[in-house]
Amino acid sequence: MEPTIRHARNSDHDAVAAFTTNTFEWGDYVADVFPDWLADATGCVMVAVDDEDKPLAVGRGVMLSDSELWLQGARVNEAWRRRGLGSAVAEAIAAWGREQGALVSRLGTEDWNTPAQRQVEKVGFRPVGDWAVAVRPTPTAEPATSANGGKRAKARRKLERAHSTEATPAWISWRSGPLVQPTRGLHSWHWRWSRLELEHLIDGAKKGELWASPAGWALARVDRERLTVGWLECGPDDADQMVRAIVDLAQDAGTERIHLPVPAVDWLMKALETSQFDLHPMIIYERAL
């Protein structure tokens, strides 16, 4: 069939939920957030429909800046896969993004998801970065570690909220440091990657989300009982202390979990593993519009 692509409607929810509920072993999130996606004026949700106007595929695009489009939630009914529906939905979202002024589109996929990787590469996306989303529960006391059976070693110095005057030194350090190249200049909030600008650090400081210690800087916020780190600046010699300071910050804030996306460089992976983070490898893709 030749797919018909249109903007999604609230009435599409049940049909979309029917083919997205069990996408992964753990389920899926698309049906839960579908109403919020439709209500978000910064994004669009497109569906491919059959002759009876029933959704067979879905995808979402959201503008993360004046020129950056992020793609997410691409799903196709299993019975209709390999017919170009996912690509058609993605192209419709890209056309919408161009109308908003987007010059580049990006998306992320797990490193094990080779079918998704083949599909996005087929339509012109190229990998621009290997990342790992590091997660762990926040320690509630001084737990024993698997490494030595003793108490968890805290950082020598805590992360403290930084004044906006810290933004420029943090920016200069990052732009000249070892993490800017593997990140390709990107940072991440809520599973979405976009370019980091100095203004983000200044704004983060004003919101109380820029943190500093002798080991480096971080953008971090408490969101629904979770400490989320959107950006990190440190070097190989300071990585262990920086990660420990992040765990300490989460513990002091009383959060339940820590969510930390970072570029997959060896010395940072080692520091995260030492602090007992679970690592979920991701590949970030990019395409010019």
Judge if 278 and 202 occupy the same domain: yes
Same domain, 89 and 154: no
Asked if the structure places residue 203 within a domain, the reply is yes
Q: Given this model, what pLDDT does residue 2 score?
A: 73
Mean pLDDT in runs of 10 for the chain (289 residues)?
88 92 71 92 94 94 97 89 89 96 96 90 94 94 50 88 97 97 95 96 97 97 90 97 97 94 97 97 97
Please classify residue 154 by burial: count the beta carbons closer than 10 Å to its beta carbon, then call 0-12 exposed, 13-18 middle and 19+ buried: middle
pLDDT at 24: 63
41 domain-assigned = yes
- pLDDT for 46: 97
CATH number at residue 12: 3.40.630.30
Query: Is residue 284 situated within a structural domain?
Result: yes
Asked if residue 271 is part of any domain, the answer here is yes
- DSSP for 34-91, please give it: HHHHHH-TTEEEEEEE-TT--EEEEEEEEESSSSEEEEEEEEE-GGGTTSSHHHHHHH
- State the total domains in the chain: 2
**Whether residue 166 is found in the same domain as residue 266:** yes
Domain for residue 118, yes or no? no
Q: Which of 85, 102, 119 is the last residue of a domain?
A: 102
66 and 168 assigned to the same domain: no
Q: For the chain, where are the E strands, in sequence order?
A: 4-7, 43-49, 55-63, 68-76, 104-110, 126-137, 160-161, 186-189, 192-195, 210-213, 216-222, 226-233, 257-263, 278-288
Do residue 46 and residue 172 come from a single domain?
no
How much is the pLDDT for 78?
Answer: 84
Which tokens sit at 127? 């990998």
Domain that holds residue 57: 4-102
- Residue 86 is assigned to a structural domain of this protein: yes
Report pLDDT for 148. 45
Structural domain contains residue 192: yes
Whether residue 57 sits in one domain with residue 191? no
Q: Among 102, 123, 148, which residue terminates a domain?
A: 102
**CA torsion, ordered 19, 25, 31, 32, to nearest 10 deg:** 170
Q: What is the reported pTM?
A: 0.89
In order of 8, 140, 204, 227, 275, the CA distances from 254 in angstroms are 39, 8, 21, 9, 18
Residue 123 is assigned to a structural domain of this protein: no
